[in-house]
Structure 1
Amino acid sequence: MKKHLKKIIFGLTLSVFAVSLAGCQDIRMWFKGFEESFKGLEMTIQTYDESSQVIDKITGKSILIERDETFDTNEESKDSSVIKISVGTKEMHHVGSSMIIAETGLENVFEEYTQTVDTENIQRGIPILNSMVNEKRNSFDGKKKVVLIRSQNGTPLATYAGDHVSLYKTDVPKSTGLLIDGEYLFIYRCDYTIYDLALIE
């Protein structure tokens, strides 16, 4: 009887743990990084000029993005801005112009949102409490957000939106990683603004 009870308790504990992990953005992001390292992600790479015109576009089924450590000033600095991208068995390097790398499944919804935002919010809040809550939500479930991306001179070039959006640092300077509804978005050398969806609706 005791063994049977222990099995039930162990099973319930595992179930609760699995459910808690399923809702955790940080865990999803960890698995996404693991998948990228060992299998690669199916993604589309696009680079843009200052006027937000596409310079080139590459789609691959097994893509890995990393900082090219060869160009670090020294071993401790980790300051190389050169991106090394593996596309299947091939390789490319990039530095300088704006780049967006979007996992297959992410949709650029640029046309659905205005290119500029003019909003007013008079709701009061407690800034330090709001900051803590938002940080926890970023790690656990993400928030409904809209990501407006612009070229380095401020010309709009892409917009992404999702119900579960979280931001993450990457090891590449001047870049940001986002997890949008389970899909990975990598932004390099772009201006961007990320709004809570409720702020602009």
Structure 2
Amino acid sequence: MKARIKRHLVILSLTATILGATIAAPTVGHASIFGFFDDTVLNIKSDTKGLPLTISTYDNGGQKIDQIKTKSAKIHTDSAMSKTDSNGNEKSSVIDIDYGKQRITHVGSTMIAYEGLKNYQDEYAQKHNITDQDKSVPLLNAMHQDFSNQWNSQKRVVVIRSQAGNPIATFAGNNVSIHNTEMKNTTKFVIDGHRLIVYRADYTVYPTASLK
């Protein structure tokens, strides 16, 4: 872990240098530099004290199986099952969720974990029966009508789907960046400085203006 934190600190130092130059002379890559910086900071927090994650798993139909809310959690590849190929890429999809003195081991079904963000899909499902949704109106557009006051001030909408293509989560933000991770079948996002982790799922990032 110390080696990983040291690597993060080196990256953070280099990013800060680049960031200073970017602020002095803005470029098209300005937003991506901030995303890279935020990703490194969140990685350091995760490795040192964990993140206050809400973690949910889903079946293929998009039905939520379970959900836990933690004050401090870290998600990583299970060390006992870890195996890499000749290029150093992780081959095992078995992951561990460490929180407090507890550990959950997970593999297979779709999982999302996030902190500091609102899952609009959950709120929408509380007010509407999605299975009775008018098929002539795309679900995301219908959600936009419900949350237009909140979404219109955001530049991006992130939609997460189960492996069978059923929507399970929707997030909105101004600055959205996507990052690789050492975990197999896993993608990390930074949305306005907050972490979203997606395991075994499809995703699309939409410009909010395209939903109007």
TM superposition score normalised by structure 2: 0.67
Match among 171, 178, 192 for residue 182 of structure 2 = 171
| Residue aligned with 2:209, SS | helix
Please say which structure displays the higher CA radius of gyration.
Answer: 1
Contact 1:146 1:195 in 2 (8 A): yes
> How far has the Cα of 1:200 moved from its partner?
2.5
Match of 1:159 in 2: 170
SS at match of 1:35: helix
Rate the CA distance shift 1:73–1:44 in 2: closer, same or farther, 3 A. Answer: same
Segment of structure 1 superposing worse, 179-188 or 189-198: 189-198
Deviation of 1:116 after TM superposition, in Å, equals 4.7
Matched, 1:67 2:77: yes
Are the equivalent residues in 2 in contact too, given 1:151–1:191 (CA < 8 A)? yes
Q: Does 1:200 find its partner at 2:201?
A: no
1:50 alignment counterpart: 60
Structure 2 residue aligned with 1:78: 90
**Number of aligned pairs?**
162
1:115 alignment counterpart: 139
1:102 Cα shift? 1.0
Q: Which residue of 1 aligns with 2:42?
A: 32
Structure 1 residue aligned with 2:193, among 182, 188, 198?
Answer: 182
- Paired with 1:98 and 1:40, the residues of 2 have a C-alpha distance of 21
Q: C-alpha separation between the residues in 1 aligned to 2:138 and 2:191? A: 20
* Distance (whole Å) between structure 1 residues aligned to residue 200 and residue 175 of structure 2: 24
| TM-score, normalising length: structure 1 | 0.71
CA RMSD of aligned residues (A): 2.9
CA contact (8 A) 2:58 2:110 kept: yes
Separation of aligned partners in 2, 1:41 and 1:106: 13
Query: Which one has a larger percent strand, Structure 1 or Structure 2?
Result: 1
Q: Distance in 1 between matches of 2:196 and 2:103?
A: 19
Mark the CA change 1:74 to 1:165 in structure 2 (over 3 Å): closer, same or farther.
Answer: closer
Alpha-carbon distance between aligned partners in 1 of 2:40 and 2:206, rounded to the nearest angstrom: 24
C-alpha displacement at 1:27, in angstroms? 1.2
What is the Cα deviation at residue 48 of structure 1? 0.7
Unaligned runs of 5+ in 1: 1-13, 118-142
Q: Which amino acid aligns with 2:166?
A: T
> Structure 1, residues 81-122: CA drift from partner, whole Å, max 9, x if none?
01111111211110000101011x2001223995256xxxxx
Structure 2 counterpart of 1:149: 160
C-alpha contact 1:69 1:78 (8 A) present in aligned 2 = no
**In structure 1, distance between residues paired with 2:174 and 2:138:** 19
